Every structure is written in C-alpha cells, then in structure tokens.
Amino acid sequence: MKITRTVAELRDALAPERRAGRSIGLVPTMGSLHEGHLALLRRAREACDVVVMSLFVNPTQFGPSEDLDAYPRDEQRDAALAEDEGVDLLFAPAAEEVYPPGFATTVTVAGPTGVLDGAPERRGPEHFAGVTTVVTKLLNMASPDVAYFGQKDAQQALVIRWLVRDLDIPVRIEVCPTVRDADGLALSSRNAYLSPAERERALGLSRALRAAEAEVAAGHLDAAAVLAAARAQLDQHGIDPEYLELRSAADLSPAERVNGSTLLAVAAQVGRARLIDNTILGGTS
C-alpha cells in the first residue's frame, strides 16, 4: 500500500491506472477505522481495480463546540487495517494541503441540509457544507469511478447523492448497509467515548428502530404509532433524543405515514458521544 500526502502525489499515482483503463474506487474516512469502514473497503475491493482510502479528519464539518480535538486518531493502526483490506493507496493529507492559505470556496446543497442533523439548533447546515465541500474536493482529487459511503450517515449519503447529481460529478455513489455490533449498536468511531454503562444506554437507539420496524410489520403505518413505539424504547433506556423523526427517504420531507421508502432517524447525546442511527421503513435501504 502506497501512502500519499499531497494531491499531486495522489494524481501521479492514479494517472497510469486510469490510462490503463482500471476502475478506481474511493472510500472517504476520518480514520479510527472499525468494521463499518472495513465493510466499505471490502465492497470497493470486490468491485474496483484500484482502491483508494482517504484519511482526513475534516475540520470544517465540526462545529465550534464539537469534538474535533478529541476525535480519535491513530494513523498507524488505520494504515495497517487498510493494508489488510487490500487498499492500494492511502491518501492522508495535512489540513493545509486540503485548505491552503486563502481557501475561500464552499459547496452547499440547499434543500436537505437544513433538517435533522442540519437543523440550526443542532449541527446546522454548516456541518453539511463542510462535508459537501470536502467530498467535492476528494472526488476532484481522486476522480474515482465509484465512491462508497455508509447508510449509517443516511442524511450525509442523501446529500452527497444530491451534490453529485446537481454538479454532474462523474462518479457513481454506492451506499452500503450499516454495520452493527452483535447487540445492535451501530458502529461509530465515537462509540470509543462510551463507558460500559453509557454503552448499555446507547442500545436504546437501535432498539427504538427495531421497535418501529415491528410496528410497521404489524401494519401500523401512522407516524404517531411508529414514533410512539420507538420513543417507548428510548424512554426505557433513559434517552431523551435530540430528534426522532420520520421523513421521506427520497428528499427528507416530513412523513405522516410510512409510505414507500421512509427514513426513521434518531440522534442522541449519550455521555460525551453524540450518536446517530436510522432505518428505512416500508422499502429497501
């Protein structure tokens, strides 16, 4: 596995591959790799000739009161895991390489970034502006044929699909299913912040989603019934969510009923960790 730190090195490494007609897959990450990231790498490895993983803790998607400084970082461990998964190129730039002095451009997707995590009282649309700007840059840097994202960050995946469609970026976006621990907790780099007792409480999120799925399977499709079933589980675990909302999986407009592909998304602060999870009801994820 080759490690590159500059855009020029990355492009130099990829140019001959592209000329030879080899397909390129990109997996953007902020490191602190877990099985969720590894599933994306495996999917890329199966489908593409050349696999690039980016490792960059993007400062512009963290709010002033968020955990940028505390975010877990261990490049050596991440590089070893990436190499084990058959990654060809690790792109690990410094912040100044991505945001050189005078950097002045922001890419924003207007519609779906102002709700759920993007609501002004939460992370705000600036969070997604940070994501869409860095993802646009990574797609321009690597020019992959396919880029891989996780359904765990459902709103992020939707916003990135929107971005790529609106700006005609020539890449296929593939969204991979959420990887969970055996007890249901969605894997997240932020799970490292949880004490054993907090981890137990955090199970409330996935259990709320499973309760909502059971409600739908029993034929109760109204938002009120679905949300009540989910909320009962959150209450049992002592979790007061930042949000628990049912929205269209196509455009994040509010849903009164599970109708076609409907997103149930939840976010909650558990100890120091801000956790999110989601499921698609009434359709395929």
Binding site for ligand AMP (CB under 6 A): 29-30, 36-37, 39-40, 149-150, 152-153, 176, 178-179, 186-189
CA distance 173 to 158: 10
Of 107 and 221, CB closest to ligand AMP: 107
- Please count the other Cβ atoms lying within 10 Å of the Cβ belonging to residue 271: 15
Rg (CA), the chain: 19
What does the angle CA 130 – CA 148 – CA 211 come to, to the nearest 5 degrees? 90
CB 16 to ligand AMP: min, Å = 27
Of 109 and 229, CB closest to ligand AMP: 109
CB 158 to ligand AMP: min, Å = 11
Of 176 and 280, CB closest to ligand AMP: 176
- Nearby residues of 102 by Cβ (< 8 Å), 6 or more positions away: none
DSSP string, 42-97: HHHHHH-SEEEEEE---GGGS-TTS-TTTS---HHHHHHHHHHTT-SEEE---HHH
Q: Which of 84, 38, 31 is nearest to 55 (CA)?
A: 31
Of 223 and 249, CB closest to ligand AMP: 249
Task: Give the CB-nearest residue to ligand AMP.
Answer: 150
CB-CB contact of 74 with 32 (8 Å): yes
Of 133 and 189, CB closest to ligand AMP: 189
CA distance 27 to 281: 27
Of 215 and 242, CB closest to ligand AMP: 242
- Out of 37, 127, 220, 237, which one is annotated catalytic? 37
CB 220 to ligand AMP: min, Å = 28
CB 207 to ligand AMP: min, Å = 16
28-67 in b/e burial notation, b at 16+ Cβ within 10 A?
bbbbbbbebbbbbbbbbbeebebbbbbbbbbebbbeeeee
Would you give the distance in Å from CA 228 to the centre of its chain?
26
37 in active site: yes
Helix, strand, coil % (nearest 5) of the chain? 45, 20, 35
CB 235 to ligand AMP: min, Å = 25
CA distance 246 to 254: 6
CB 41 to ligand AMP: min, Å = 10
Active site residues per annotation: 37
